[in-house]
């Protein structure tokens, strides 16, 4: 198995894409720290995956926007699981609304979680990753960070920022053989997209050449590739996994 004994930290792993990424790494022999906001969410996800891959997953609740709490958590994970080799920044939220009506709090919550959250985790985990061999950072951005979207100024800015952050980190850490890449999912079936009204879903599907929403496994497979030895020479890239939507 490709990731035997690797220690992987996945944020936003309580459900959706993050849980699937955690499951995919567990299936390949990794030890996975599932991080999410609520203990019940990451705890439930870890319990579920451990039924199939016993002992692979441990739950660690934290708010990724809380700089101090993330630093404390990183130390706890290193003590309990060993140094993290692969960090996947997947935690994300939406607070959609047209700019005219968007509240300051909607802006701050989205930027603090989606962008500052990644800054917090990279800062907290980077030192041991720089000392390790072939460490990997993978950030889950969004096609909305590439093309924008009406009603998502906060989310678009956070994901575009995450892409810039990815490239800067890739350049800074390349000398230590740490790669940093982003995946830009299109529309993927999860709780986040379940909220969309049916007519909006139909309109979106009309713009996707492969004519359907993607699955959480489509994203997990791309993450496994970027984390694998096969992607040794790939860094600073944004891979769109979007059914051709943004080609
Ligand atoms: P979900 O809403 O299904 O799950 C989000 C996860 O992030 C949850 O586990 C949640 O924790 C966690 N989370 C949210 N805020 C915080 C926080 N402050 N601290 C720690 N954890 C937090 O999202 P998806 O699976 O749909 O999306 C995952 C990522 O993929 C996001 O970054 C999203 O922007 C991105 N994406 C998704 C797309 C889609 O179509 N679904 C498309 C493009 C990008 P808890 O469970 O405890 O609430």
Average pLDDT across the chain, whole number:
97
Mean pLDDT in residue range 154-158? 98
The pLDDT of residue 66 is 98
Ligand 1 nearest-atom number relative to CA 14:
9
Q: Is 121 in the pocket of ligand 1 (CB under 6 A)?
A: no
Q: Is 142 in the pocket of ligand 1 (CB under 6 A)?
A: yes
Task: Please state, as a whole number, how many other Cβ atoms lie within 10 Å of the Cβ of residue 61.
Answer: 17
Burial class of residue 10 in the structure, from the number of CB atoms within 10 Å of its CB (0-12 exposed, 13-18 middle, 19+ buried)? buried
d(CA 181, CA 156): 18
More reliable by pLDDT, 132 or 8: 8
Q: Is 184 in the pocket of ligand 1 (CB under 6 A)?
A: no
Mean pLDDT in residue range 186-203? 93
More reliable by pLDDT, 133 or 237: 237
Report whether 129 contacts 114 (CB < 8 A). no
Q: Render pLDDT for 42-74 as a digit per residue (tens, 0 to 9).
A: 999 999 999 999 999 999 999 999 999 999 999
**pLDDT classification of 235: cutoffs 50, 70, 90:** very high
Ligand 1 nearest-atom number relative to CA 185:
43
**Ligand 1, atom 31: closest residue by C-alpha:** 92
Return the bridge partners of 139, or none.
89, 182
What is the whole-number distance in angstroms between the Cα of residue 22 and the centre of ligand 1? 13
Ligand 1 pocket mutation, candidates 12, 105, 220, criterion most atoms within 8 A of CB: 12
**pLDDT classification of 192: cutoffs 50, 70, 90:** confident
The pLDDT of residue 102 is 98
Ligand 1 pocket mutation, candidates 17, 114, 213, criterion most atoms within 8 A of CB: 17
Strands of the sheet with 238-241, listed across from one edge? 57-61, 31-36, 7-11, 86-89, 136-140, 179-185, 238-241
Residue 93 pLDDT > 90: yes
Residue 95 pLDDT > 80: yes
**Ligand 1, atom 12: closest residue by C-alpha:** 12
d(CA 232, CA 116): 27
Distance between start and end Cα atoms, the chain: 33
Catalytic residues: 155
Q: pTM score, two decimals?
A: 0.98
Residue 1 pLDDT > 80: no
User: Torsion angle of alpha carbons 10, 16, 21, 23, nearest 10°?
Assistant: 110
**pLDDT classification of 19: cutoffs 50, 70, 90:** very high
Residue 195 pLDDT > 90: no
If we measure between CA atoms, which residue out of 169, 38, 196, 191 comes closest to residue 115?
169
Q: Is 40 in the pocket of ligand 1 (CB under 6 A)?
A: no
- Our measurement of the distance from residue 69's CA atom to the centroid of its chain's CA atoms, rounded to an integer in Å, reads 19
């Amino acid at each position: 198995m490709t990731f035997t004994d690797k220690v992987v930290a996945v944020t936003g792993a309580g459900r959706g894409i993050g849980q699937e990424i955690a499951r995919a790494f567990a299936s390949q022999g990794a030890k996975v720290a599932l991080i999410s906001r609520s203990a019940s969410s990451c705890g439930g996800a870890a319990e579920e995956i451990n039924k199939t891959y016993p002992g692979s997953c441990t739950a660690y609740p934290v708010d990724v926007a809380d700089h101090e709490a993330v630093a404390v958590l990183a130390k706890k994970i290193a003590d309990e699981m060993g140094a993290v080799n692969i960090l996947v920044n997947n935690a994300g939220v939406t607070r959609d609304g047209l700019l005219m009506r968007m509240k300051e709090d909607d802006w701050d919550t989205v930027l603090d979680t989606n962008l500052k959250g990644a800054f917090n985790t990279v800062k907290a985990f980077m030192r041991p990753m720089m000392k390790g061999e072939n460490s990997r950072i993978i950030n889950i951005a969004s096609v909305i960070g590439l093309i924008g979207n009406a009603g998502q100024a906060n989310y678009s800015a956070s994901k575009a920022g995450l892409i810039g952050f990815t490239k800067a980190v890739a350049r800074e850490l390349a000398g230590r053989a740490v790669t940093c890449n982003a995946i830009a999912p299109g529309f993927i079936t999860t709780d986040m997209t379940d909220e969309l009204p049916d007519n909006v879903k139909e309109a979106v599907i009309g713009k996707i050449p492969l004519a359907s929403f993607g699955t959480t496994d489509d994203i997990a497979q791309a993450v496994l590739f970027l984390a694998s030895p096969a992607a040794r020479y790939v860094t600073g890239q944004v891979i769109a996994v979007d059914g051709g939507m943004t080609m």
